[in-house]
Amino acid sequence: MAGKGNENVTYVDKSGKRLDGRKVDELRPIKVDVGVLDRADGSAYVEWGHNKAIAAVYGPREVLPKHMANPYKAIMRVYYRMAPFSVPEHKRPAPGRREIEISKVLSEALDAAVLTERFPQSQIEVHIDILDADAGTRITALTAASAALADAGIPMRDLVAGVSVGKAGGRVIADLTKAEEDASDAVDIPMAILPSTKEVVLLQMDGILTKEEWKDAHELAHKAAEKVYNLQKEALRKRYESAEAVEETEEIAETKEEVVE
Ligand code: CDP
């Protein structure tokens, strides 16, 4: 929620630096790891600044209750949850209105990416737990979720990549922290795209921008999404290159055993 903060804070100083030293278009450090859970069909862990999210994918599998099934496509069931210890004021464990809303928008974004028509009568479950939160968690969650879907081998048009852009202290900036989201003039715009077609699959807005500011914010978002996309692809590549290496080693070991026998 934007716009509750201190009017005396300088959100972008004269040299163009923000509270944490970043430039206006600079993202926080982002780390993407895939295949982090043994029990799930696909998984990913993302650290984005102080945000930490873990995603687990199951399916496609049978829809229960059965009457919820769609005869033409798989249904995406997305559960975004914040751990009670992820925020300064210990959160109640039961999912609140905000988590239900975020699960819905994430489900719509992922539905646009997954080739759901290939799996009628089935469901694909995506569980995302936020372990630590510092604004931008829905995008951190989406980054993890789409990498986890790819890790599960689920056919997709593309990965989903995004960022939150907006405004603090009168300047258009990319990737707002909680301190920036709390600026009195803050605007927060989480946005996600399918990078190969630039199709926008998530766009929300909290606050007001001029047309010019929106143009700048939109451009920042596309550039940032491209960076996030590259990190996701790199993590998937790393995972499958190392998986191939393990398979090759196992094959060599098996051949050696056969020779010995
Ligand atoms: O996380 P995101 O920016 O996608 O969603 P938000 O609803 O705009 O929440 C912004 C931030 O507020 C979260 O990332 C948390 O850091 C914080 N928050 C909190 O401190 N306590 C909550 N119960 C919910 C959110």
Residue 1: the pLDDT is 53
Residue 133 CB neighbour total at 10 angstroms: 20
Q: Do 193 and 161 touch, CB atoms closer than 8 A?
A: yes
pLDDT 10s digits, 88-105 = 999 999 999 999 999 999
Lowest mean pLDDT among 22-36, 166-180, 233-247: 233-247
Query: Domains along the chain?
Result: 30-260 (3.30.230.70)
Cβ of 87 closer than 6 Å to ligand 1, yes or no, is: yes
* pLDDT tens figures, 60-88: 999 999 999 999 999 999 999 999 999 99
Is the pLDDT at 109 greater than 70, yes or no?
yes
Residue 88, preceding peptide bond in cis (omega within 30° of 0): no
Bridge partners (DSSP) listed for residue 188 = 166, 206
| pTM greater than 0.75 (yes/no) | yes
Reduce the DSSP state of residue 44 to 3 states and report it: strand
> From the alpha carbon of 141, which atom of ligand 1 is closest?
4
Q: How many residues does the chain have?
A: 261
CA of 85 to the centre of ligand 1 (A): 13
Quote the ligand 1 centre to 197 CA distance (angstroms): 29
Among 203, 230, 231, CA closest to 218: 203
Q: Does the beta carbon of 146 sit less than 6 angstroms from any atom of ligand 1?
A: no
Residue 8 pLDDT: 79
For every residue of 180-227, DSSP letters joined together read: HHTSTT-EEEEEEEETTTTEEEEE--BS---HHHHHHHHHHHHHHHHH
CA distance 97 to 90: 16
φ/ψ of 144, rounded to 5, equals -70, -45
Residue 124's SS3 state is strand
Residue 250: what residue type? E
Which residue lies with its CA nearest to atom 14 of ligand 1?
A: 135
Mutate to test the pocket of ligand 1, among 181, 188, 205 (most ligand atoms within 8 A of CB): 181
Assess whether the C-beta atom of 181 lies below 6 angstroms from ligand 1: yes
Is the dihedral angle over the CA atoms 215, 108, 137, 226 positive or is it negative?
negative
Closest CA to 180 of 207, 160, 158, 204: 207
The predicted-structure confidence for 121-157, as pLDDT tens digits, reads as follows 999 999 999 999 999 999 999 999 999 999 999 999 9
Report how far ligand 1's centroid is from the alpha carbon of 113 (Å).
25
**Whether residue 210 has pLDDT greater than 60:** yes
pLDDT tens sequence across 1-34: 555 666 679 999 999 999 999 999 999 999 999 9
Decide: residue 214, CB within 10 A, 0-12 exposed, 13-18 middle, 19+ buried: middle
Take residue 153 and report the two structure tokens written for it: 């081998």
| pLDDT at 261 exceeding the cut of 70 | no
Which of 178, 187, 205 for mutating ligand 1's site (highest number of atoms within 8 Å of CB)?
Answer: 178
Ligand 1 centre from 6 Cα, in Å? 18
